[in-house]
Amino acid sequence: MRCPSSISVHAAESLFFATILTVSNHPPYIIPPYFSPQKVKQIEDQIVEYADWSIGKFMAEARKQPWFAHTLFVFVGDHGKRIEHLPTDGLILPESCNHVPLIIYGAGLPREQRKDFAGQVDIAPTIFGIAAFALRAKQFRRGPDDAPPRSYFLFGR
């Protein structure tokens, strides 16, 4: 896995921000021959198992790097997936389509599970809050501890 070592080249110089994009769970579904799914039979489930395995391998390699202890890792999906066996309550876009995983991991961060309503626009202020950076811009977003929580939906006819 080249990714953690290529990040190390930049991390040795100063603070850094790196983005790694994966598209493993979008068609066409391609599972490399070196990965053997263990738990599931359907390709849509196998590709999720492969993505989980890949993230685990990335984190295992990242743990070996000198920058690991002072790095904040943010994992987020771009959208949810309709889960056919869950009830839709008559909705065109049921909750399963809109539930997007977000994992923020860093050495020393306490474990916490949040069920707040948030969107991708809330990720940057959340990261800034964790890193104790001040935000000057007033944007269409909120941090995890800003009150009161609001739903950001716009509807048109």
pLDDT digits (tens, 9 = 90+) for 40-68: 778 878 888 888 898 999 999 999 988 88
pTM of this prediction? 0.71
Asked if 75 and 56 count as a contact pair (C-beta separation under 8 A), the reply is no
Q: Distance (Å, rounded) from C-alpha 107 to C-alpha 127?
A: 14
| pLDDT given at position 154 | 45
Distance of CA 127 to the CA centre of its chain: 12
| pLDDT given at position 95 | 65
Higher pLDDT, 140 or 29: 29
| pLDDT given at position 107 | 85
Higher pLDDT, 5 or 20: 20
| The amino acid at 67 | W
Element (H, E) at 105: strand 102-106
Q: List pLDDT tens digits, range 114-152.
A: 877 777 778 888 888 888 776 665 555 555 565 554 544
